[in-house]
């Protein structure tokens, strides 16, 4: 009798315990019905809100049981070298294997970040900007977990179309995160929000890397097959499945095995200088000269879009601060369109920015040195933070940003290159650390800034992503065990 009573008591209290746990761990899912009950005074309003609240808890409990199955899995990490070796010899079977790997991996990585949202303090979880990102992630998680297994090239094309749509929708994630954390900066602990942001961003990079790499490989495979077979327009995509096995391509998706770092730096310098010259109504070539020296023939295996973002942000900061510091020199500057020299002195209006490339067998270090006057001591300790009040005021500028993919070639219609967002340095370090590198900044008071970018050359470091909530990503190492990339 006592045992039966004890079991009945446990059964009666178990739903309450589950509801309490869900209420604690998923504040971001607070039901709108609760707010209705708060506004209405009538018993009918209260009963309706109570019933909707119970249904909401049951639904969210069911959804989180699904989520728990995916958060119990660890991401299957890959290295750049694995992506390169796989992409050098494509067949239809390998492309389909790649699609199924990405299809199974994306919901796992999304599930871990959805869990992070659910463990945010309540005040942050109810922020409308963060709630919007949460809903985007849930929809993407639901879509990818339900997408059927890919068996044909036609299936793969539909999967790629789905990922392209998803990538476009998620181009608003960074502005929404920026607005959300700026509004929570004074309400939630700085360390907690900074860790949340770093995990959100590195996970976002990892998912986009897998999706964009597979989409690029699929597009290349499709294009190379069409060029090889020269099918008539009426023959359709299905005819391409009969191409000879082992069809080779020298392109490797979004990864480059032989990226020349000096050439990349020159491209970034040209891209960074133009907007500042336009803003100051200066002729082309008037911005501070960027001098690249050292091991200028060094090459590395990388995703150029990632490295370009880092270098571009550092050069953009240097150009902006140098032009601001030496702006009075422009008053005596020769007006010739092709001259940057001040009258009577024969010297440039702005001191140059020197970029030194140092290369070893396994690593590349890029130093960006300027004469901007240094970083003020009141700012320097917080340059890597997303939410310190000094930085949060810039994050509010995200309200004017419609979309952002954190790329050098963002486009002025998306993000003005002159808009201060307080985002470039911390995001650059996230990009560098993702593949086992780092970014460090040293201020030389009264003189300038030296920024150092460390990048592994060989591509054998696996993705530096954390598996669990609030678990810092461990430094990636060249000999770290990685997933055997089968797709």
Residue 145's alpha-carbon distances to 41, 141, 214, in angstroms, are 42, 6, 17
**Residues 40, 43, 47, 49: what is their CA dihedral angle, to the nearest 10 degrees?**
10
Residue pair 71/115 in contact by the 8 Å Cβ criterion: yes
d(CA 134, CA 137): 5
What is the residue-wise DSSP string for 182-251? Answer: HHHTTTS-HHHHHHHHHHHHHHHHHHHHHHHHHHHHHHHHHHHHHHHH---GGGTGGGGGGSPTT-B-S-
Residue 162 phi/psi, 5-degree rounding, is: -65, -40
Q: Is 256 exposed, middle or buried (0-12, 13-18, 19+ CB in 10 A)?
A: buried
The pLDDT of residue 360 is: 96
Residue 347's alpha-carbon distances to 269, 327, 329, in angstroms, are 21, 14, 10
What is the pTM (predicted TM-score) of this model? 0.79
Q: Which residue from 311, 316, 313 is spatially nearest to 300, judged by alpha carbons?
A: 311
Strand pairing category for 290-294 and 353-359: parallel
Q: Is 487 exposed, middle or buried (0-12, 13-18, 19+ CB in 10 A)?
A: buried
d(CA 339, CA 202): 43
d(CA 454, CA 28): 38
CA distance from start to end of the chain: 58
Secondary structure of residue 4 in the 3-state scheme: helix
d(CA 109, CA 206): 8
The pLDDT of residue 406 is: 82
Domains and CATH numbers, the chain: 1-72 (no CATH), 256-328+348-456 (3.30.565.10)
The pLDDT of residue 204 is: 96
The pLDDT of residue 331 is: 64
The pLDDT of residue 161 is: 97
d(CA 200, CA 473): 12
Would you write out the chain's pLDDT as a tens digit for each of its 487 residues?
434 444 443 444 444 443 444 444 443 333 333 333 333 444 444 444 444 444 444 455 556 788 999 999 999 999 999 999 888 878 899 999 999 999 999 999 999 999 999 888 888 878 899 999 999 999 999 999 999 999 999 999 999 999 999 999 999 898 889 888 888 877 778 888 889 999 999 999 999 999 999 999 999 888 776 666 655 544 545 554 555 544 444 458 999 999 999 999 999 999 999 888 888 888 888 899 999 999 999 999 999 999 999 999 999 999 999 999 998 877 655 544 444 455 445 567 899 999 999 999 999 999 999 999 999 998 898 899 887 777 767 777 777 777 788 888 775 555 666 777 778 899 999 999 999 999 999 999 999 999 999 999 999 999 999 765 544 444 444 444 344 454 4
d(CA 374, CA 443): 5
Token pair, residue 119, equals 């463990």
Residue keyed to tokens 């959805």: 114
């Amino acid at each position: 009798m006592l045992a039966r009573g004890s079991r009945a008591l446990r059964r009666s209290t178990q739903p309450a315990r589950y509801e309490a746990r869900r209420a604690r761990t998923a504040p971001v899912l607070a039901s709108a019905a609760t707010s209705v009950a708060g506004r209405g005074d009538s018993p009918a309003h209260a009963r309706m809100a109570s019933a909707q609240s119970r249904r909401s808890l049951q639904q969210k409990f069911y959804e989180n049981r699904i989520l728990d199955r995916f958060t119990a899995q660890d991401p299957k990490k890959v290295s750049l070298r694995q992506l390169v070796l796989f992409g050098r010899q494509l067949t239809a079977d390998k492309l389909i294997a790649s699609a199924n790997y990405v299809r199974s991996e994306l919901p796992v990585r999304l599930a871990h970040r959805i869990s992070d949202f659910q463990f945010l303090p309540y005040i942050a979880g109810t922020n409308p900007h963060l709630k919007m990102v949460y809903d985007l992630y849930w929809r993407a998680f639901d879509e990818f977990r339900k997408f059927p297994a890919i068996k044909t090239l036609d299936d793969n094309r539909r999967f790629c179309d789905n990922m392209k749509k998803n990538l476009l929708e998620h181009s608003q994630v960074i502005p929404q995160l920026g607005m959300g954390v700026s509004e929570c900066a004074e309400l939630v602990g700085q360390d907690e929000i900074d860790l949340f942001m770093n995990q959100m961003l590195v996970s976002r990079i990892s998912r986009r890397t897998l999706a964009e790499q597979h989409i690029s490989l699929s597009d290349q495979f499709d294009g190379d097959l069409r060029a090889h077979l020269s099918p008539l327009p009426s023959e359709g995509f299905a005819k391409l499945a009969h191409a000879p096995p082992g069809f080779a391509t020298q392109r490797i998706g979004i990864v480059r095995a032989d990226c020349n770092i000096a050439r990349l730096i020159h491209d970034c310098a040209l891209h960074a200088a133009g907007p500042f010259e336009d803003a100051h109504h200066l002729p082309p070539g008037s911005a501070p000269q960027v001098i690249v020296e050292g091991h200028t023939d060094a090459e590395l295996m990388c995703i150029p879009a990632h490295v370009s973002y880092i270098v571009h942000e550092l050069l953009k900061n240097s150009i902006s601060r140098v032009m601001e510091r030496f702006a009075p020199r422009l008053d005596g500057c020769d007006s010739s369109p092709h001259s940057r020299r001040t009258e009577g002195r024969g010297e440039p209006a702005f001191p140059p920015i020197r970029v030194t490339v140092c290369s070893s067998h396994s690593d590349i270090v890029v130093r960006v040195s300027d004469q901007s006057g240094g970083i003020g001591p009141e700012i320097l300790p917080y340059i890597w933070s997303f939410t310190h009040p000094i930085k949060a005021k810039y994050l509010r500028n995200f309200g004017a940003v419609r979309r952002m993919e954190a790329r050098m070639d963002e486009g002025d219609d998306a993000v003005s290159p002159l808009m201060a967002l307080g985002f470039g340095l911390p995001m650059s370090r996230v990009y560098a650390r993702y593949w086992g590198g780092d970014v460090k900044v040293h201020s030389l008071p009264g003189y300038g800034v030296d920024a150092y970018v460390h990048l592994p050359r060989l591509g054998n470091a696996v993705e530096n992503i954390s598996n669990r909530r609030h678990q810092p990503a461990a430094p990636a190492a060249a000999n770290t065990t990685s997933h055997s990339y089968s797709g």
